[in-house]
Structure formats: C-alpha cells, structure tokens
Amino acid sequence: MFILVNLKAYPCDPVEVATAAREVSEESGVRIAVSPQAADIARVAETGVETWAQHVDPNDYGSHTGSTLSEAVAEAGAEGTLVNHSEKRLKLADIDGSVRAAERAGLETCVCANNPAQIGAAAALGPDAVAVEPPELIGGDVSVSSADPDIVEDAVAAAGHVDEDVEVFCGAGISSGDDVDAAGDLGATGILLASGVAKADDPRAALEDLVEPL
C-alpha cells in the first residue's frame, strides 16, 4: 500500500511533515511520499522522503512563463507527480501532455479522476497510476472507501479493463488506518490524502495511525 500525502496549499510546515513521513516509512516499511508546493520540493526532498510534485504542465523548455516544468521539479528532487487533481483540472489533451512530459523527465505519474468512467479514460493514457476522488468527499470526514465503496471497486475494474499495469489509488476523506485498510480490501493499491495529515495537530501520530493496520 502506497500513501501519498498531498500538502496542497495548507499552512503547514512541509519539512516537519516530510520528516515525520520519512521516519514513519522507515519504521513501518510502508511506502510514504509527500507532495508539497512546487517552491518546497527541494526542501522536502532533502529530508529523504519520497517527494512528488502536485502538478506539471504539458510543455517542454521554452517560452512558457508561469508553467511548472517536469524537468525542473525532477531536478529539485521530485520522483513523481500528480496530474489532473480535482483542484487543478486539465483538458484530456493536456492530461496526456502532462503525462508525456513527466515521463520525459523520469517522473512517476498518478492521474486523478472523479469516477470510474474517467478512470478508464485516464488509464488509457498510460500513467503509472490513477486515483479516484469524488470531489464532494475531498477534504471531508467521510472516506470514499466507506461512503461509496462501489466507486472504488468499479474504478479498479475500469482501469484493469484498459491496462492491468496501471495501479489504482483512492482518495477523498481518507484519515485513518481503518480507511486505508478498507481501501485495500476494495482493490486499491494506494491512497491519496491531504487534510488528514497536513492539518493534523500531530502529523507523525496521524501517519502512524494510517500505517498501523499495514
């Protein structure tokens, strides 16, 4: 089970969360990564935790002011990137372009989608993983694995029908070890979460709770 902690633009200390994630990962043997703001990628990567970007743009080097270049985040220490998070939606052609750009820079990719139909379309683009995240549950206290387990199972089936090598993560409302356990039972091989760790009073304790059933 892979745990990917998205720090979004929350007012947390990214180095504190990253350090806690690295320590919990080393102690538990569970793969944990942290996805900070682009400006914090280098600082987070220096902690030794697996580091992901929150977004990369579908462009190469050139006249692209304000873009997030895949090569730049890779050079800063990122090993992977989210694409098409529900708070950073892209057109299908741009999702494809961002996945290709990430591949060019050697970044692992996870394309986010809202439902199983979109998961199937995303899987057809050949990312390393897809993540199903119903927007109405993002940032809430109820996890997708408990509120709508069918959507997770259907997403796993949709991705597998297109490309069995594409892993399926689930997100939205994940905040406890029970949520992680339930996601695994439904066929997910990873989870994507944010507020459950980034807004926790004690990020290390939150992470320890997430890995406890694993």
What are the residue numbers of the active site? 85, 133
Tokens of 38: 């682009």
Sign of dihedral through CA atoms 29, 80, 42, 55?
A: negative
Q: Does the annotation place 138 within a ligand binding site? A: yes
Q: Does the annotation place 173 within a ligand binding site? A: yes
Q: Does the annotation place 59 within a ligand binding site? A: no
Q: Does the annotation place 8 within a ligand binding site? A: yes
CA distance 161 to 32: 27
CA distance 199 to 194: 8
Residues 6+ apart with CB under 8 A from 209: 176, 177
Tokens of 67: 């873009």
Q: Does the annotation place 29 within a ligand binding site? A: no
Binding residues: 6-8, 138, 173, 194-195
Binding residues for substrate: 6-8, 138, 173, 194-195
